[in-house]
Amino acid sequence: MKKYIVMGNYTAKAFQGFMKDPKQDRSIAVKALTEAVGGTFESFYITRGPYDFVAVTSGDMPYENFAGIKLAVEASGTVENMVILEEMDMNKAAELAAKAMAGYKPAG
């Protein structure tokens, strides 16, 4: 099962919503979005730094499922700069790189 790490920033519209209802639990919304595309919610954090939130999710599904969440959430006007990181197997990538280089001749 692949893991997806999702990060993003809230907009002024979202911050207005937080001030209107400061006790809201955004992890409930993240869980619903994740499950709507067939994923599994693992965790959600409000963070300090370049991103306002980070979510960890997982699932045996293509990247496009989470790209659909990005489209929907950013279209709402409450999130921007959403980044989706997909876990990968570096050993497999290195094996494939070694295989590719076996027959590759650099330019020059």
DSSP 71-104: HHHHHTTSEEEEEEEE---HHHHHHHHHHHHHT-
Q: Which residues contact 67 (CB under 8 A, 6 or more apart)?
A: 84
All structural domains of the chain: 2-102 (3.30.70.920)
Looking at residue 18, its pLDDT comes to 95
Report CA torsion sign: 3, 68, 77, 21.
negative
Question: How does 61-78 read in b/e, with b if 16+ C-beta sit within 10 Å?
Answer: eeeebbeebbeebeeeeb
Run means of pLDDT, 10 residues per run, the chain, 108 residues: 95 97 95 94 97 95 91 97 95 94 88
Looking at residue 105, its pLDDT comes to 86
